[in-house]
Structure 1
Amino acid sequence: MCRVVDLQQAVLAKNGAAAQTLRVGLTARGTTVVNLLSSPGSGKTALLERELGLARERGVSVAALTADLATENDARRLGRSGVPVKQVLTDGLCHLEAAMLGRHLDGWLPQDTRLLFVENVGNLVCPASYDLGESLRVVLASVTEGEDKPLKYPTAFGLAQLVVITKTDIAGAVGFDEAAFRANVQQVNPGVEVVLTSARTGEGLGTLLGRALAVADGDPAHTPVMAAQDHGHHHGHGHDAGHDHHHDDPGHGHHHDAGHGHAHPPVVRTR
């Protein structure tokens, strides 16, 4: 057991070092990374598409990288916004890692990009442990997922710097208890902001963009209690209890790039 824990800590430490290098390099060129985490089907792609379109309308230089196990569907959708978009296919890996992200940005990310939105793999377990060099970590949850989601996934919600509730246009139909959800969020992450959004009606549209721009301009992001307890940096925690570590799966840990040169949006396969 100790050897497994030591290996996991070593992997996360290596990722943390790569993330810090990436953060410093991107910050020096004026690019702020926003890491978006959620369960599959939360509506983050729909919301991000509208936020990217709004950024373009306002003349904000943005780009988006989206990661999935398979299909180019999300890149096609995000590409409709007219901003630079890149798809990463992880072929089974349940999260992005900092070194992987850095390789995919190299030679692709436009130099004048002010905000880079990274749509992580749909999963609230594995991605929660991996710093991607972001300056703002956002966790999204739809009204259909239940009010106890923050308690079930305390690492993801406990390390969030912004929590976004999506699909509020159907909150009444599904009996969503907003007060209970907010209370549960505050239980694991006191003081974090929780905002309401609907990609369909436009409620809260521009909030995500506004918060990201504020961080880019130097406003401090929320510091979760869990992050403060982790000696000043909020990543490097183990997975939530009950989850089998993903590196036991075949093919994990191999991140060879392929597929460069595809028409927009390019597809990068990680094997």
Structure 2
Amino acid sequence: MALESENSSLDWLCLVLAPAVLASMELFHPAHFTHAPGMYAYLSAARPYAPAFEALGYSGPHWWVALHLIQLPMLALVALGLWRLVDGVSEGVAGLAARLSRAGAFVFAILYTALDSIGGVGLGRSILDLEAMRAAGSLTPEEAAGAVKLLDAVWVDPVTGGVGSFVSLGGSWAAFVAAAAAAFALGASRRAPWPALALLLFFGWELQISHAAPHGPAAFASLMAAALWLRLEPRLRVFSARPGSAPSEAVGASFSVGERILVDRTIPLDRKTL
């Protein structure tokens, strides 16, 4: 895959547009509310900015549903972009790393789809339904309190919960594996410059910590920056020198993901050998 290839529109969509959308949205994805004031107590109403919850603001459960509905296709595109990053890398240890990266991207897509569906869209709609039933007076206070306890328990479920669960931690670590293995594969096969690889690693690490603010915005901004670096890096310059001669500049092909960097080396002639 290359951002300059015939499929460049798809690559821009997966590695630039989707991360840009996610980086912007995650600025309004709160964190650290599980224990105080509690999931339901926090998510059931709009909240202004508060440093303890990281997000710039929270507009209420309708936003929680919309946020995760948008995340579903955007994260699928990111997973596809990670998959395509290692197109054409198939030989040696770099090829093994590329296959590991694709396995990580596949698991990331599956687990984050489950996470956003259960802890995002499903939970948000349940909060809205419960609030509507309370407003209509169709629940007794005891029934409403029991429903709130149930939703709080769903949020911390060890398998499908929104924090510390199998789908949450598994998806986050899968994203890190996908990014780290892709960086290794591209570096080992000399298909990308080191700053782009560093940004790719930073993306994986930050997303492994959390996709909520502030780590999520930092992660997706880094992925976008890595993709832009790969696309816009114009030339590779290599300096080589022989004993007794000045270094000469060699200009290689433009960096592009999935295409081997070719370098034309120009070596000054040593007249003593003529």
Report the TM-score range of the alignment, normalised by the length of the smaller protein.
under 0.3
More strand by share: 1
More helix by share: 2
TM-score, structure 2 as length reference: 0.25
